[in-house]
Amino acid sequence: MTGPAGAPPAYRAVFCDLRSDQVLDTLPLTEVQYDDYIGKPGSLTATIPLPDAALAQRARAALEPGRTAVWLERGTEIWWGGILWTCTPAGDERGRAEVQIQAGTFDSYLDHRILSSDLNLSGDQFDLVRRILDHIQGVEGGDIGLVYGTEASGVNRTRSFAMSDVARVREILDTLAAMDDGFEWRVHCYRDTQTGARVKQLQLGHPVIRTGATDIVLDRPGPVLSYSLPSDATVQANAWQSRGASVNRNQARESAPLLSRPLWNRDDILVGGWPRLDGTSDYSDISDQALLDAHALADWRRAARPQVIPEITVRVDGRITPALLGSALRLRMHDLWHAEGSDTRFRIVGLAVTPPSRGQAETAKLYLEKL
């Protein structure tokens, strides 16, 4: 579906049964906002106007939080997919009615799943992820159609997960991903060009997800409408200590927590004039020294430099799509702050889109990570 000549493609929402992906209905949306990220779930918020009883009845039948999938199509392409989690019908004093909906990307499902038995896993870390997904999708009612490939990271792990920990599956995957020499993961939604089927694809990347063969180039002045380039040292650290589970190696003494070793210090930074900044992390479920040390090393490396989380706002054109997540971007800036000009490479790690509305063009906010 497309709009008038020169207008951006029109949006439509397709509501489906989560487990079978059987189409329930297509309904009009207003006030749409949606986003997607590498490293955390994305979201969609929208309003469904209810001008008459017929549409209200259709909406009641299609909108069932927790079991309805939402696919957002822009023209013929899928730009977002996820699960309807909240549905709020509302009416005003004039008798007008509408439904406000909130949905999360399909990976948000893993926040609602725990293990149904103990798992003892060994092999490539990507295989561990796939076996965990097989485990949760193999129980009755647990298969929502997540699919994956056979790629490998080249990093082997041995991990055990206890059902008694009642840990959310997303928490388990994020903990695995955050280890030293870990990985990134997300659920990529798209339409299969051969069959036309809607696909929920597990996307894995080591050490990070990268897409695209060439850099996208954006300029200010130019397509970049606005930007924000914060620096944040509140979570910076150049010395690190991680704490694990309580252990008791001496029966005559009280239990004490396992501590990572050694205490990771960035002596090169201290010599360069930085003050010592201590950081800590807790892993109360880890009692293995080597495993705790691996987590401490990964945490220390992430915290060693001030975090910069740039964001830019651009008009949506033929280059800007959700498929850009993981792509490299060259950002060329020349303004009051960048008086001499700058040319910096980033990776796109998040995308938030505002569809066109009365008098306003369609825009996208890109969240970046410096390369």
CA pair distance 75, 80, nearest whole angstrom: 12
Contacts of 262 (CB under 8 A, 6+ apart): none
Sheet holding 146-147, edge to edge: 146-147, 198-205, 184-191
**Is there a single domain that holds both residue 222 and residue 293?**
no
List the single range of 187-201, 232-246, 338-352 with lowest mean pLDDT. 232-246
Domain final residue pick, 90, 109, 128: 109
Which of 94, 109, 124 delimits the end of a domain? 109
Across 52-66, 116-130, 186-200, 255-269, least confident range: 255-269
Per the structure, the count of domains in the chain is: 4
Look at residue 250 and tell me if it is in a domain: yes
Domain range holding 262? 239-303
* pTM, 2 dp: 0.87
pLDDT value at residue 229:
87
User: What average pLDDT score do residues 6-31 get?
Assistant: 89
Say which CATH number the domain at 330 has: 2.40.450
Domain assignment present for residue 223? The answer is yes
Instruction: Give a yes or no: residue 152 inside a domain.
Output: yes
Of 255-264, 308-317, 331-340, least confident by mean pLDDT is 255-264
pLDDT number for residue 213: 85
Q: How far apart are CA 199 and CA 192, in angstroms?
A: 7
Domain boundary among 287, 303, 319: 303
Residue 108 pLDDT > 70, yes or no?
yes
Could you report the per-residue pLDDT of 121-147, keeping only the tens digit for each?
Answer: 999 999 999 999 999 999 999 999 999
| Residue 143 backbone class (left: φ over 0; alpha: ψ -120 to 50; beta: rest) | beta
- Give the mean model confidence (pLDDT) for residues 35-61: 94
Q: Mean pLDDT for the chain?
A: 90
Assess whether 185 and 131 both reside in one domain. yes
223 plus 332 within the same structural domain: yes
| pLDDT value for 5 | 47
Residue 76 within a domain = yes
> Beta 68-74 vs 23-27: how paired, if at all?
unpaired
Give the pLDDT of residue 211: 93
Say whether both 224 and 315 belong to one domain.
Answer: yes
Q: Say whether both 199 and 54 belong to one domain.
A: no
pLDDT in the model for residue 75: 87
| Residue 4 lies inside a defined structural domain of this protein | no
pLDDT at position 252, please? Answer: 60
Q: Specify whether 193 is located in the same domain as 222.
A: no
Residue 58 lies in a domain: yes
Residue ranges with strand state E in 146-197: 146-147, 156-161, 184-191
Q: What is the largest CA-CA distance in the chain?
A: 81
Q: For residues 51 and 170, what is the distance between their CA atoms, to the nearest angstrom?
A: 39
In this prediction, residue 285 has a pLDDT band, given cuts at 50, 70 and 90, of confident
Q: What angle do CA 84, 90, 94 make, to 5 degrees?
A: 150
